[in-house]
Amino acid sequence: MTPQGPILVINPNSSTGVTQGLVAALAPYALPGGPAFECIDIPTSPATIATSEDVARSGLALAEIARGRPDASAFIIACFSDPGLELLRSLVPQPVLGIQEAGILTAMARADRFGIIALSERSVARHLLRIRQMGVLDRMAGEVGLSGVSALDAGTCDKVLTETLEAGRGLVRQGAGAIVLGCAGFAPRRRRIEAELGVPVIDPVQAAAVIALGAVIA
Amino acid sequence: MTPQGPILVINPNSSTGVTQGLVAALAPYALPGGPAFECIDIPTSPATIATSEDVARSGLALAEIARGRPDASAFIIACFSDPGLELLRSLVPQPVLGIQEAGILTAMARADRFGIIALSERSVARHLLRIRQMGVLDRMAGEVGLSGVSALDAGTCDKVLTETLEAGRGLVRQGAGAIVLGCAGFAPRRRRIEAELGVPVIDPVQAAAVIALGAVIA
Amino acid sequence: MTPQGPILVINPNSSTGVTQGLVAALAPYALPGGPAFECIDIPTSPATIATSEDVARSGLALAEIARGRPDASAFIIACFSDPGLELLRSLVPQPVLGIQEAGILTAMARADRFGIIALSERSVARHLLRIRQMGVLDRMAGEVGLSGVSALDAGTCDKVLTETLEAGRGLVRQGAGAIVLGCAGFAPRRRRIEAELGVPVIDPVQAAAVIALGAVIA
Amino acid sequence: MTPQGPILVINPNSSTGVTQGLVAALAPYALPGGPAFECIDIPTSPATIATSEDVARSGLALAEIARGRPDASAFIIACFSDPGLELLRSLVPQPVLGIQEAGILTAMARADRFGIIALSERSVARHLLRIRQMGVLDRMAGEVGLSGVSALDAGTCDKVLTETLEAGRGLVRQGAGAIVLGCAGFAPRRRRIEAELGVPVIDPVQAAAVIALGAVIA
Amino acid sequence: MTPQGPILVINPNSSTGVTQGLVAALAPYALPGGPAFECIDIPTSPATIATSEDVARSGLALAEIARGRPDASAFIIACFSDPGLELLRSLVPQPVLGIQEAGILTAMARADRFGIIALSERSVARHLLRIRQMGVLDRMAGEVGLSGVSALDAGTCDKVLTETLEAGRGLVRQGAGAIVLGCAGFAPRRRRIEAELGVPVIDPVQAAAVIALGAVIA
Amino acid sequence: MTPQGPILVINPNSSTGVTQGLVAALAPYALPGGPAFECIDIPTSPATIATSEDVARSGLALAEIARGRPDASAFIIACFSDPGLELLRSLVPQPVLGIQEAGILTAMARADRFGIIALSERSVARHLLRIRQMGVLDRMAGEVGLSGVSALDAGTCDKVLTETLEAGRGLVRQGAGAIVLGCAGFAPRRRRIEAELGVPVIDPVQAAAVIALGAVIA
């Protein structure tokens, strides 16, 4: 294996707590001699990417970062709205993965129909646009928005966990055979949620990370 | 990380050459302390799974194997027709991945439209049934069947490589932004084909392998 | 009209009661001088094809039977999961019809949207895979699974009839303009259910039988 | 079996030659004691239903006829544009079948993808509207329009037969596994075309006739 | 700007009250020196186009009118079932717009998902056929039928307004980002409904009228 | 009619020539007493929005402008990639129209299948993403990219006109019943192209302009 640059995992919000969660979530996938997962955030961003404007601004910030990192072997956009995904692909030669795409596609590799748990109701319509664009609408069992929680709380707050489990149970009842966690911040909760729901639960950052490994190593 | 059983990669044909190719293709993804990739074939099978009957028979053979391996942490069905995929999922609690599904979905994580290179023209219609079933027809740029080559030759014969590159170039001209190699035997050629075509080339076994890592490790 | 071999109607379970129901259901369609409907079952099968494994095994058993009957003018696979449909088509030159396909397509010839009544909830997800594969998802109003009844009881048990009518009424309220009975065993109840629901009710074996007549006679 | 009124097969053009062809095509499906196939035409119509206006006018004429035949057990609209199909269904209680719908759906019961041979290029766009409305576009391999021939010539003219076979071969090359003859007049040629093309060839009137048998007999 | 003939807006029912509503609704769009909106009705028609037969008959009546008006610069079919749309397009060279098409497409230009309010439940299934034919089913949030009201009452009766607002609120809750009023008679209520619902509300006649302006002026 | 603020038509490139073309193209639609069409460009932008980065940057610039114009009655984003469309809708209360959406939907109101002429081949894949997102892929006959021309040349250069006509003829042969001009700069050529091709030709800015009139006037 040729030495390779890191897989740059960019959390486009400014929450260092979320970034630390990414580091922990990806640690188990570090191959000896393989690319490191380098996780960074964008200090000038808001703590949660919540609005369409946040998404648009972070797309350009991500482009700036990606252009400055010819050493990276791949990029992961660690925000569930996949900000800047097409943009980065048009700018840099390395593989670029979005966690919404990777999370949903990984769920589709595990079960026929997927459900999504989003941080808030207002993200649901925006996600729907992407899912229709992906051409995979017929595989979606449903999407549920939580009560408007932050990316950090998604992985750390007990009340949010309770809410998340309830949302997941509802999606399973609607026919979801796999659940996609709709934020990069959920990672610390994946195993717990999976154990409770009894169906595959996909952390979208981990999903993107292993696909990135497959892309850069051979 | 808890010690985990191997990820069992089942080549449902009897070609030990193909199985050795799988071992080589997956070696770079072995995580220290993580699950091993154990690659096996089915000595009583034909050398290439080519007909619908081969697919049906191998599905049941795979079920028999999967039921006998409660120690495995996951199963990969290393045949591009995904024989027995739903069957195994209904029988065993572990994650079960089919390489056609995993390969196509991984291509969809890399580019908007995918193309497929199959071993023979007669597989193309059978694959189409699966792609429509997957609900991802609108993402397919096309599928090209080679002149009826064996799984082993796919990864070892120079004449087949030439034919594969020509098929790949045609698919790129049709708009494919990523190419899925439609057989477990292509693995030794992936990097070469990727270098020649200039678009992501997906080895479906590697694609399934990293998704399996994501499923069993956390 | 040239003399023609029988249309072989294969009930892939072992319930002779179901087979007798088929004989009765198809008797009215016997054309003088035309092919007979020869109904058989598979004594080594379970009494109801319920699991994915039952489906896979019966597909191969059906292939064996079809290969041994060059005298037949057509084959009907009388199980609502259409086991072995593609397999048989790849093996024998005669027309091969699956009752799920034939039943759904016949409902689509009678009304815009169809509903399906299945024997159990656990079949519904398996049927969905086929309906998406058929590319007719946009025509489905819904599918309801009964409480896990046998193929024989579907056509003979009064309690099941009550349950069936309730399911049918629910589907009509959801917009179904025609109802497909999701098992070969329902035939004795078709007229009664049709009278009660007030919409076309399709017995899938009869649906396949008349399409078979159209295929072999001209 | 209760005595039943005839299945009224309405050729909405004025070609008695076409009507005689229908009589011959349906004779083999007459069940002893079952409903007769009564074939009629509309003397005030043009010899071929070719334009959108022909279609619209014949829809109303068909409605008039259907309303006047409470004795009929079912109606078949024997024109490939299915004029008046929804209208008749809204007006009379009997089953109403359109031969375009019945022909396409029957082809879908025989093979994965269908092709259509139309009388003229200008019908193709009109048919496409119906096929999209039917929600089965993903199953169509293609449609070819002949050089603008009459309904009568479709079944009687040797030059048209040659043209039809050429069209059919083109559709098979495009992946059609079954061919639908796109006019009620083709019936006399069905067996010949089927023998030449080597795939199932569907006469849409016969297709509708057997579905009608299934609807009225039980 | 060359002087141009009027845009002929044909209300295919006989309600002069509805026609007067059209005149009022279109007055604000009259460009100085541009084509006038000439609104007419069909005195021999019923007061509301409600049944499939009404739709079929009015299609032919519209064709008669359109053929007699070579002076018109465009035609608008002011009935939500778009009677005769394809027919008129095949007969006359001028632009022909249907208000169902124009209304739905305009809603799609304003928001991702649309809802429709129809005059009665029994129109909903007929509309669905058109929406599937238009290929835009994935953009529909839902359709609600009112309790069977007349075209005139849609724009003038207070009880109907209350019912309409309730239907609209239900559609917004189902995810509709824009509401299409499903009858030419609703025009006088558009602004009021828009103000109450807080989402774009499309009067389909106004929608067609401005598209007609775009077609005839340049 | 209440006095209303202008409909702000924002050309997101810096070509004042294109902006002047917009002024001329929209002049005929100015209603007396109605909102003016105020056409502006963005001097800091490139002369043609060609790359994904241009699209992303202009989306944010458009948002800035829209937020600063509470007096406007509606916004039109006069770039065929619809930069910032969802973003602006999330930020301002006024109607926001994108010319790609408006142009395609208007073509769909005129004919069953549309074709698109883009400035360059490299835009085609980006447009496809939007068309799939719009859920209208089944209505597209094709898209052809010109040889990489500027927005200004699209409406002023004779060589580009020749190329445009050739592209249009190809699309009509592929079944396009209406052609969408894929850039705001084409407006001066619309009538000429329409006359030559013999099918409706949609200038997307005019299409958006009249829909905007319909939105703000009642």
Chain C: give the shortest CA distance to residue B67, in Å. 12
Of C111, C138, C215, the CB nearest to D135: C138
From B164, B172, B108, select the one nearest B137 (Cα to Cα). B108
Question: pLDDT, tens digit, for every residue of C140-172?
Answer: 999 999 999 999 999 999 999 999 999 999 999
Chain B contacts in chain D segment 151-190 (CB below 8 A): 175, 177
Chain F: give the shortest CA distance to residue B110, in Å. 14
* pLDDT over 60 (residue D40): yes
Of B31, B109, B139, the CB nearest to A31: B31
- Based on the domain organization, do F90 and F157 belong to the same domain? no
- Based on the domain organization, do A91 and A105 belong to the same domain? no
- Based on the domain organization, do A94 and A108 belong to the same domain? no
> Which pLDDT value is given to residue B3?
63
DSSP type of residue D135: T
- Are there at least 3 beta-carbon pairs closer than 8 Å between A and F? yes
pLDDT band at F1 (very low <50, low <70, confident <90, very high): very low
Region C84-103 average pLDDT: 97
Q: Which of B132, B136, B140, B144 to mutate to test the interface with D (most CBs of D within 10 A)?
A: B132
Q: Residue C210 CB: number of other CB atoms within 10 A?
A: 24
Question: pLDDT, tens digit, for every residue of D180-207?
Answer: 999 999 999 999 999 999 999 999 999 9
d(CA F114, CA F140): 5
Cβ atoms of C197 and C165 within 8 Å: the answer is yes
- Based on the domain organization, do E94 and E104 belong to the same domain? no
Distance of CA C188 to the CA centre of its chain: 13
By residue range, what is the domain housing residue F161?
100-203
d(CA C40, CA D99): 33
> Which pLDDT value is given to residue A1?
45
Chain A: give the shortest CA distance to residue F192, in Å. 34
Region E74-87 average pLDDT: 96
Of B55, B57, B90, the CB nearest to C52: B90
From E8, E36, E4, E202, select the one nearest E105 (Cα to Cα). E202
> Which pLDDT value is given to residue B2?
55
* Averaged pLDDT score across all residues of chain C: 95
Region E205-211 average pLDDT: 98
pLDDT band at D11 (very low <50, low <70, confident <90, very high): very high
Residue F115 within a domain: yes
CATH of the domain at B90: 3.40.50.12500
Question: pLDDT, tens digit, for every residue of F125-135?
Answer: 999 999 999 99
Residue A1 within a domain: no
- Residue E108 and residue F106: Cβ atoms within 8 Å? no
d(CA E72, CA F37): 27
The three-class DSSP label of residue C180 is: strand
Question: pLDDT, tens digit, for every residue of C42-70?
Answer: 999 988 888 999 999 999 999 999 999 99
* pLDDT over 60 (residue E1): no
Region E131-137 average pLDDT: 98
CATH of the domain at B193: 3.40.50.1860
On whether any CB of chain E is under 8 Å from the CB of A125, the answer is: yes
Distance of CA D178 to the CA centre of its chain: 15
On whether any CB of chain E is under 8 Å from the CB of F136, the answer is: yes
What residue type is C12 in one-letter code? P
Residue C180 within a domain: yes
Q: What do you get for the CA distance between the two ends of chain E, in Å?
A: 8
Residue C2 within a domain: no
Report the percent of chain B where pLDDT is more than 70.
99
From residue F2, alpha-carbon distances to E189, F33, F73 in Å are 17, 9, 11
- Based on the domain organization, do C91 and C133 belong to the same domain? no
Q: Which of F54, F86, F121 to mutate to test the interface with A (most CBs of A within 10 A)?
A: F86
The three-class DSSP label of residue A100 is: helix
Tokens 């009518």 sit on residue: C165
On whether any CB of chain C is under 8 Å from the CB of D138, the answer is: yes
On whether any CB of chain A is under 8 Å from the CB of F129, the answer is: yes
* Averaged pLDDT score across all residues of chain F: 95
Residue B1 within a domain: no
> Which pLDDT value is given to residue A28?
94
- Based on the domain organization, do D150 and D210 belong to the same domain? no
Report the percent of chain F where pLDDT is more than 90.
93
The three-class DSSP label of residue B200 is: coil
- Based on the domain organization, do B195 and B156 belong to the same domain? yes
* pLDDT over 80 (residue B55): yes
Containing B87, the helix (H) or strand (E) segment is helix B85-91
Chain F: give the shortest CA distance to residue E97, in Å. 7
pLDDT band at C3 (very low <50, low <70, confident <90, very high): low
From E3, E32, E21, select the one nearest F33 (Cα to Cα). E32
d(CA D114, CA D88): 27
Count: domains in chain B = 2
Tokens of E192: 């009021």
d(CA E47, CA B110): 57
Chain B: give the shortest CA distance to residue A90, in Å. 11
pLDDT band at D1 (very low <50, low <70, confident <90, very high): very low
> Which pLDDT value is given to residue D2?
55
- Based on the domain organization, do A111 and A94 belong to the same domain? no
On whether any CB of chain E is under 8 Å from the CB of C112, the answer is: yes
* pLDDT over 80 (residue B31): yes
Tokens of B49: 């799974």
Cβ atoms of F129 and B175 within 8 Å: the answer is no
* pLDDT over 90 (residue F191): yes
Cβ atoms of F25 and F206 within 8 Å: the answer is yes
* Averaged pLDDT score across all residues of chain A: 95
- Based on the domain organization, do E25 and E79 belong to the same domain? yes
Residue B54 within a domain: yes
* pLDDT over 50 (residue B10): yes
Cβ atoms of A51 and A79 within 8 Å: the answer is no
Distance of CA F95 to the CA centre of its chain: 16
Residue F1 within a domain: no
Residues of chain E with Cβ-Cβ distance to C175 below 8 Å are 125
- Based on the domain organization, do F55 and F150 belong to the same domain? no
pLDDT band at B85 (very low <50, low <70, confident <90, very high): very high
Question: pLDDT, tens digit, for every residue of E157-199?
Answer: 999 999 999 999 999 999 999 999 999 999 999 999 999 999 9
Residues of chain F with Cβ-Cβ distance to B113 below 8 Å are 125
Chain C: give the shortest CA distance to residue D6, in Å. 16
d(CA D202, CA D25): 12
Pairing of strands E7-11, E37-41: parallel
Residues for chain B: how many in total?
218
Residues of chain D with Cβ-Cβ distance to E121 below 8 Å are none
* 3-class SS shares of chain F: helix, strand, coil, % to 5: 50, 15, 30
Tokens of A13: 């919000």
* pLDDT over 70 (residue F3): no
d(CA B85, CA B99): 10
- Residue E213 and residue F95: Cβ atoms within 8 Å? no
* pLDDT over 90 (residue C88): yes
- Residue A177 and residue C125: Cβ atoms within 8 Å? yes
Question: pLDDT, tens digit, for every residue of B171-183?
Answer: 999 999 999 999 9
Alpha helices in chain E (DSSP H): 16-26, 52-67, 85-91, 99-108, 121-134, 151-156, 158-173, 190-197, 204-216
Chain E: give the shortest CA distance to residue F146, in Å. 24
> Which pLDDT value is given to residue B1?
45
- Based on the domain organization, do E118 and E57 belong to the same domain? no
- Are there at least 3 beta-carbon pairs closer than 8 Å between E and C? yes
Interior angle at CA F194, CA F191 and CA F199, nearest 5: 150
From E60, E139, E154, E70, select the one nearest E106 (Cα to Cα). E139
Residues of chain B with Cβ-Cβ distance to F129 below 8 Å are 112
From D20, D27, D208, select the one nearest C32 (Cα to Cα). D27
What residue type is C169 in one-letter code? R
Residues of chain D with Cβ-Cβ distance to F175 below 8 Å are 125
Tokens 């959801």 sit on residue: C174
On whether any CB of chain E is under 8 Å from the CB of D91, the answer is: yes
Region A197-205 average pLDDT: 98
* pLDDT over 90 (residue A33): no
From residue D123, alpha-carbon distances to A150, A159, D149, D184 in Å are 57, 62, 11, 14
DSSP type of residue B139: G
What residue type is A74 in one-letter code? A
Determine phi and psi for F147, rounding to 5 degrees. -80, 30
Cβ atoms of C211 and D211 within 8 Å: the answer is yes
On whether any CB of chain F is under 8 Å from the CB of B138, the answer is: yes
Residue of F nearest to D136 (CA): F138
The three-class DSSP label of residue F155 is: helix
Tokens of E144: 């609600």
Question: pLDDT, tens digit, for every residue of B94-124?
Answer: 999 999 999 999 999 999 999 999 999 989 9
pLDDT band at C1 (very low <50, low <70, confident <90, very high): very low
On whether any CB of chain F is under 8 Å from the CB of D132, the answer is: yes
- Based on the domain organization, do D69 and D128 belong to the same domain? no
Establish how many alpha carbons lie within 13 A of residue D98's alpha carbon, considering only the half-sphere containing its beta carbon.
Answer: 27
Residues of chain F with Cβ-Cβ distance to A129 below 8 Å are 86, 133
Region F138-165 average pLDDT: 96
Tokens 């030709």 sit on residue: F201
* pLDDT over 60 (residue C26): yes
